[in-house]
């Protein structure tokens, strides 16, 4: 007679190891029991974030940050309601069957909650002279996965490579779709227009409002004329100062009577100062 021995082992599987959901959606993490002999197995769910596990379902109760936003769908699947970006993590379904020969099995599911980008912050220079460089920037930090960027001019998309479009063929720009920076090395008159940026990812997109960039010619003749005027004015001032010096307007003050020094007295002679400066007479006769 042949003897058949049944090997009792709990076995799990999932229909999707890498599910995704948009923010505020409902998402189910499937944990299916393919084989089991134990009537009432122990089921647990753990969330692993930054390498640290925490319970979300333990002893037949929801726990942690999913306590009021999740439920178990029989036999062991986890349903998350109103998903948020903080729910992006690894989730581990664990089933322990005490009466099975292999009493434990688990499946790990990687969940990604996608978040639509918010309106990006755009910066466009108001006016740029022909031939000069210009930089336009676009950034938003809320979207998940990280946003990609597109630029538009007068409602027409600016291609990443200007050589792919006849309209932008002669433009000298570089577009970084990762950082959102649009840089012109030498602006042309044709680059003037209304610019706006779009931030997009798998969850959707958002746009900033259009901003006008004007391109103007540099007035070389006006600049030269202005320089000449300044030179002429400085020359006139210099000539005026020189003439003033020559005519004595800046000469030092002449000596006055108060500054006069009396000559040294000779032996036996006294001098008396009169009202007229420098007029002296003898006070006494010479003594021989």
The secondary structure of residue 266, as a DSSP letter, is: P
What contacts 24+ positions apart, CB below 8 Å, involve 72-77?
Answer: 72/43, 73/28, 75/32, 75/33, 75/43, 76/12, 76/31, 76/32, 76/33, 76/43, 77/28, 77/29, 77/30, 77/31, 77/32
Residue-level pLDDT, tens digit, the chain, 288 residues: 444 445 578 999 999 999 999 999 999 999 999 999 888 999 999 999 999 999 999 999 999 999 999 999 989 999 999 999 999 999 999 999 998 889 999 999 999 999 999 999 999 999 999 999 999 999 999 999 999 999 999 999 999 999 999 889 888 999 999 999 999 999 999 999 999 999 999 999 999 999 999 999 876 666 777 787 888 888 888 877 888 777 777 665 444 445 545 555 555 545 455 455 445 454 444 444
**Residues 6+ away with beta carbon under 8 Å from 56:** 45, 46, 47, 62, 63, 64, 65, 66, 70, 78, 91
Q: Please provide residue 161's backbone torsions phi and psi, each rounded to the nearest 5 degrees.
A: -115, 115
Give the C-alpha separation, 124 to 134, whole Å: 9
Structure token digits, residue 115: 């978040």
| SS3 of the chain: helix, strand, coil, percent, to 5 | 15, 40, 45
Contact between 159 and 152 (Cβ < 8 Å): no
Longest dimension (CA), the chain: 178
The helix (H) or strand (E) run that includes residue 77 is strand 77-80
Backbone torsion region of residue 19, taken as left when φ is above 0, otherwise alpha when ψ lies between -120 and 50, otherwise beta: beta
| pLDDT for 256 | 47
**Cis peptide bond prior to 145, omega within 30° of 0:** yes
Q: Please provide residue 232's backbone torsions phi and psi, each rounded to the nearest 5 degrees.
A: -65, -45
Distance spanning both ends of the chain, measured CA to CA: 178
The helix (H) or strand (E) run that includes residue 213 is strand 211-216
| pLDDT for 248 | 72
- Which pTM does this prediction carry? 0.67
Give the C-alpha separation, 116 to 215, whole Å: 34
* Residue 195: other Cβ atoms inside 10 A: 22
């Amino acid at each position: 007679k042949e003897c058949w021995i049944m090997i009792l082992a709990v076995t799990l599987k999932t229909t999707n190891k890498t599910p995704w959901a948009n923010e505020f959606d409902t998402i189910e993490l499937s944990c299916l029991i393919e084989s089991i002999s134990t009537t009432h197995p122990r089921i647990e769910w753990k969330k692993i974030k930054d390498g640290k596990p925490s319970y979300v379902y333990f002893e037949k109760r929801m726990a942690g940050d999913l306590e009021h936003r999740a439920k178990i769908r029989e036999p062991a699947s986890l349903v998350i309601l109103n998903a948020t970006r903080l729910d992006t993590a690894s989730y581990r379904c664990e089933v322990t069957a005490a009466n099975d020969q292999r009493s434990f099995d688990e499946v790990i599911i990687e969940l990604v909650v996608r978040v639509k980008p918010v309106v990006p912050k755009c910066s466009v220079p108001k006016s740029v002279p022909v031939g000069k460089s210009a930089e336009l920037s676009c950034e938003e930090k809320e979207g998940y996965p990280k946003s990609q960027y597109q630029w538009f001019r007068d409602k027409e998309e600016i291609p990443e490579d200007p050589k792919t479009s006849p309209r932008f063929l002669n433009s000298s720009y570089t577009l970084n779709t990762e950082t959102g920076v649009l840089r012109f090395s030498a602006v042309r008159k044709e680059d003037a227009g209304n610019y706006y940026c779009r931030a997009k990812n798998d969850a959707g997109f958002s746009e900033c409002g259009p901003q006008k960039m004007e391109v103007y010619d540099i007035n070389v003749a006006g600049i030269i004329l202005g320089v000449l005027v300044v030179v002429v004015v400085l020359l006139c001032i210099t000539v005026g100062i020189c003439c003033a010096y020559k005519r004595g307007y800046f000469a030092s003050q002449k000596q006055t009577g108060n500054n006069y020094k009396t000559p040294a007295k000779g032996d036996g002679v006294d001098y008396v100062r009169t009202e007229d400066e420098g007029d002296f007479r003898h006070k006494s006769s010479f003594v021989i």
